[in-house]
Amino acid sequence: MRKTVYETNYDRLVKLGIVTEGQIRPNGRSQSGGYMDLVLERLPHLDNVYSKGSLAVSIAHYFEQNGDLCSDPEMVLLLHPEIKSVEAFSFNQSLPPYYQEVFPEPGKVCLAYKKDQNNFLRTWLTNLINQRHGKTWADSMEAA
């Protein structure tokens, strides 16, 4: 049986070490020589907001410009460990400024953003795996 983009992306989060046995790893930073660090942050204030049992995380690359950290990109994801699925919630980048939210308000969904963001996530996660992210993680205290 062919997997959906949501199931495939969940499998890639497992491969990156972001999800292990249905649990999300602690906040941290994946380091892979020669590439931008991947930053993971739990967002518990978004848990269960749009679907029961969902757990929210942010994954991002950051660069510094004029003393500010800029996302390139940052995505908020809603994980559904019980069904081994993940879906995009939002996409953000600093330069040029750009923000899209799949679920703009409770009960509403932008289907075009949902499709585009989940397809982008599939490509980005594949790139992260190919860059050997997920092999070395520093927790949030070590990463500071």
The span from the CA of 15 to the CA of 38, in Å, is: 14
pTM higher than 0.85 for the full model? yes
pLDDT of residue 107: 86
What's the whole-number mean pLDDT along residues 90-115? 93
Chain-centroid distance of CA 1 in Å reads 25
Identify residue 80 by its one-letter amino acid code. Answer: H
pLDDT range class, residue 123, cuts 50, 70, 90: very high
Q: What is the pLDDT of residues 9-30, one digit of tens each?
A: 999 999 999 999 989 999 999 9
Identify residue 125 by its one-letter amino acid code. Answer: L
The tokens describing 112, both together, are 């075009």
CA atoms within 13 A on the CB side of 70: 13
